[in-house]
Amino acid sequence: MNSIGATVVLPALILFCRIGACLMLMPGFSSPRIPVNVRLFLCLAVTLALTPFLGPPLEKIVTGIPLLGLARLIISELMIGGMIGLMGRVFFAALETLGMAIAMQIGLANGLGAPIDENEPLPSVATLLTFFATTLLFITDQHWEVLRGLVASYRALPVAAGFGAQFGLIQVADCFSKAFFLALRIASPFILFALIVNLAIGLLNKLTPQVQVYFVSAPFVVAGGLFLLYFTFRQIMDLFMAGFTAWLRHG
């Protein structure tokens, strides 16, 4: 590899591996609604913008590196970037999963809406939650926190250290725990609502077996669930974005 390749091309390539793998999975950036070529040029633009700041320390690592070592370095950076992007995706996946649970609790599981971050239609409540969460990601400038976290990852996970499988599994498991605990806190009012309503419907059905209580009460259950969603929607979004922002800043 000549001097130009060692000082310009290879550092940019190594940076692109981590940045591209992260943005490929990070919510908002990886939406299928964004064309693939736009996402590719975005990754290239971010890589070229960060190369003057992050590239010089990589020049010593890639200078004179054999082909096998370069391949290991590329795979390691892809794994690290994918791990960071996956942990961000887990938060939105947890919100989406509990959004589907909320739709089931209030009787709106059959109303499918247009997918936002997925290729398959989801219940309208889950689509609404993920759409607003994705919008708030950019409105509140948290996408800049994603880039800041990528830059900080080169201090926490240096390129020369490689990818630690045990460390990565621990981080992903902790992220799953935080994300689904946060989503459970968000969905807890609706779970409590479903328990109370179903208990009341069951008692009424026992008291008046000649009346189809379930079918009579279905519109009232949906109306009550929509009212509950209306009064708690802002708190749901505030709580989710606070948890996601805390992960972005402190990881």
Where helices occur in the chain by DSSP H, the ranges are 3-4, 10-25, 36-54, 56-62, 67-105, 124-139, 142-156, 165-207, 213-250
- Residue entry with tokens 């299928």: 32
What DSSP state is assigned to residue 8?
I
Joined tokens for residue 228:
């509950």
Q: Check: CB of residue 244 under 8 Å from CB of residue 141.
A: no
pLDDT of residue 220: 83
Distance between CA 202 and CA 159 in Å, rounded? 60
Domain ranges of the chain: 3-250
Distance between CA 89 and CA 199 in Å, rounded? 36
pLDDT of residue 79: 92
Distances (CA, A) of 112 to 12, 34, 91, 127: 43, 21, 22, 8
- Residue entry with tokens 């409590």: 192
What DSSP state is assigned to residue 160?
G
Q: In degrees, to the nearest 5, what angle opens at C-alpha 113 toward C-alphas 108 and 115?
A: 130
Q: Within the chain, which residues score under 70 in pLDDT?
A: 1-7, 111-119, 210-211, 251
The residues near 12 (Cβ < 8 Å, ≥ 6 apart) are 47, 48, 51, 55
Contacts 24+ apart (CB under 8 A), 174-181: 175/87, 175/90, 175/91, 175/247, 176/90, 176/94, 178/243, 178/247, 179/90, 179/91, 179/93, 179/94, 179/243, 180/94, 180/97, 180/98
Q: Which is nearest to 142 in space by CA: 240, 51, 15? A: 240
Q: Check: CB of residue 108 under 8 Å from CB of residue 123.
A: yes
- Residue entry with tokens 């060692």: 6
CA atoms within 13 A on the CB side of 137: 22
Distance between CA 217 and CA 201 in Å, rounded? 8
What SS3 state is found at 167?
Answer: helix
